Structure 1
Amino acid sequence: MNPEIWETLQNRQSAATFKISLSMVQIYLRRTLKWSYRASTKATLKPPLAWEQNCYEAFLRLGFTVHRDNMHQSWIVNCDQTGVLLIPTASDHTCSLRGFKRVELHGNEEKHAFTSSITTFLDCGTLPAL
């Protein structure tokens, strides 16, 4: 609230360095700028209401197909993919005005990543890495 304090500190002939504590900065951000430390909001996917029934029906279809076609265990394969970040982004947090319901982060789209695909067989075998 007193910008002239900076001029007084600059004109001072002492060798002391002016320091501001982290708690002082946090108080200034919270009270004066009305900022708060917030997590980024993301759209989430919700499972369907009948997910348990869908899983049960998929299990029954798989069991019926294995029995009907006399399939060997090694023919049943599970494959899954996951993203692996080479250079993680800084954070999912930022400062925002208090009361905001939606907080967006910019620059999180540029990621250096690859997709890892893991495949396993029901008889405990795995596919070789390519």
Structure 2
Amino acid sequence: MIKEFKAFISRGSVVDLAVGVIIGSAFTSIVKSLVSYMINPLIGLFVGGINFSDWVFKINDATFKVGSFINAVINFIIIAFVIFLMVKLINKFRKTETKEPTNTEKYLKDIRDMMKKNDEY
């Protein structure tokens, strides 16, 4: 059983997943800071510092914090948009790999070209 666990944990996909989760949590804190300390105050300048968190309604003893939910939805949209922009920027600078065609692909291309040549006559 220990050998199986060692084989499982040594797989590249498990290690990649662990690294992805760790980097993802670090990236989350960066994005939250960006949104909380830079973007939200900027938006507050344009909307007059509206704070929805005080919006509540009550039915008997139940309190529904609608404003907090609205704030969470707005923050989610802002965070999602910031992540979209960051990924787009990263992809812009990432080198695109040009893959060398395999022998099979070269052979099939030659066959295609020969068939096109035969169709012309």
Fold conserved between structures, TM > 0.5: no
Bigger RCO of structures 1 and 2 (CA < 8 A, at least 6 apart): 1
Interval containing the TM-score (normalised by the shorter chain):
under 0.3
Larger of the two Rg values belongs to structure: 1
TM-score normalised by the chain length of structure 2: 0.25
TM-score normalised by the chain length of structure 1: 0.23
Report which of the two has the higher share of helix: 2
